[in-house]
Amino acid sequence: MNTLEKTMTDLLGRGIDVTHVSEMPLNAPVLEVLRLTSRKNAVYLIKTPDRELVLKVFENDRWEREQTILLSCQSRGVLAPKPLLMGEGFIVMDYLKGPNLCDLVNETLDPVYPRMIARWLADFHGNLGDEEVTLVKSDAKLQNFILTERGVAGLDFELAHEGDPLEDLGEVCAHILNTDPMFIEEKYALCDQFLRCYLSITDHSLEGITYWVVSALKEAAHFRPDQRERLEKEIEELDRGEVWPFYHHDQKR
């Protein structure tokens, strides 16, 4: 039976130089390895007798950023996967079980789930920056949030950067709107609940939120040729202020 160290060496195609170790012996036996779906990196589910792990092998140079964010989340109480082993170009972390928020939001249209994301983002924005700098998660798509036994956890931090929290809020709203069922009145209501919840915690101005929603929708249109015409039509209406029927989010509060 392979050990964790042997499995990682095989998957990485090289020896491993571990720079951070937490509760995970390299000689742990491995029962099974499964390749998970990922557009940006090679991601594996590794099953050991005691726990399930995720090995993320980066195919870019953003691994240090994600390592730093995961360690900061752990030290500051923001729910995210716990890093167990880290080194150049890879992270081994706990596998967090639970449904993703994309499925929960679209199957139920229940505002409780967008409000959960709002609270997580308020926690992230408030704890991982400082008085002068706000850290933006980025890649704030609904499937990058899962509902665990402990609450909502965020996933995938390699694109995190300093910036405007509205970028994350706009991306969440865009993803609520552009996933099936797309652009129905109930989806705008969910965006409304999401933004109201975030405001109730942070009192951050939402001036300019439409810009960030439109920006995220334009990115989606670029990657979805089959839906591009529909998305571009909705973008035009949103940009002209013909939709968003609840309250005017571009006003300071």
Tell me the Cα Rg of the chain.
19
Q: Is residue 11 scored above 90 in pLDDT? A: yes
Specify the pLDDT at position 152. Answer: 98
CATH number of the domain residue 22 falls in = 3.30.200.20
Mean pLDDT over the full length of the chain: 91
Going by C-alpha positions, the residue among 54, 37, 155 that lies closest to residue 100 is 155
Q: How confident is the model at residue 118 (pLDDT cuts 50, 70, 90)?
A: very high
Share above pLDDT 70 across residues of the chain, in percent, rounded to a whole number = 95
Where are the strands (E) in 121-249, listed by range?
135-136, 145-148, 151-154, 161-162
Q: pLDDT band at residue 252, thresholds of 50, 70 and 90?
A: very low
Q: Clarify whether residues 63 and 137 are in a common domain.
A: no
Let me know whether 90 and 106 are in one domain.
no
Last residue of a domain, one of 77, 94, 111: 94
* pTM of this structure: 0.92
Shared domain for 34 and 145, answered yes or no, is no
Residue 253 placed within a domain: no
Q: Are residues 82 and 206 both part of a single domain?
A: no
Is 57 in the same domain as 169? no
Q: List the beta bridge partners of residue 177.
A: none
Question: Is residue 251 assigned to a domain?
Answer: no
* Sheet containing 52-57: order of strands: 18-21, 83-87, 90-94, 52-57, 42-47, 32-36
The pLDDT of residue 203: 80
Of 34, 59, 94, the position where a domain reaches its end is: 94
Q: Are residues 24 and 123 in the same domain?
A: no
Q: Residue 15 and residue 37: Cα distance in Å, rounded?
A: 24
The mean pLDDT value for 51-59 works out to: 95
Whether residues 216 and 183 share a domain: the answer is yes
Residue with tokens 């939402």: 206
pLDDT tens-digit map of 233-244 = 999 988 877 566
pLDDT digit string (tens) for 202-250?
988 888 899 999 999 999 999 999 999 999 999 998 887 756 644 444 4
Same domain? For 108 and 23 the reply is: no
Residue 63 domain boundaries: 4-94
The verdict on 82 and 178 lying in the same domain is no
Q: Looking at the structure, do residues 203 and 78 belong to the same domain, yes or no?
A: no
Q: What is the CATH number of the domain that holds 115?
A: 1.10.510.10
